Amino acid sequence: MSRFDWPGLMRAGCRGLGLTPQQFWQLTPVELLILLGRDVGQAPLNRQRLEELARAFPDRKEP
Structural domain count of the chain: 1
In a domain? residue 48: yes
CA separation for the pair 11, 35 (Å, rounded)? 13
pLDDT of 4 reads 77
CA separation for the pair 27, 32 (Å, rounded)? 6
- For residue 35, give its domain range: 6-56
pLDDT, averaged across the chain: 85
In a domain? residue 11: yes
In a domain? residue 14: yes
CA separation for the pair 51, 45 (Å, rounded)? 10
In a domain? residue 1: no
Question: Is residue 40 very low, low, confident or very high in pLDDT (cuts 50, 70, 90)?
Answer: low
pTM of the model: 0.54
Question: Is residue 56 very low, low, confident or very high in pLDDT (cuts 50, 70, 90)?
Answer: very high
Neighbours of 14 (CB within 10 A): 14
Amino acid at 52: E
In a domain? residue 62: no
Neighbours of 13 (CB within 10 A): 20
In a domain? residue 20: yes
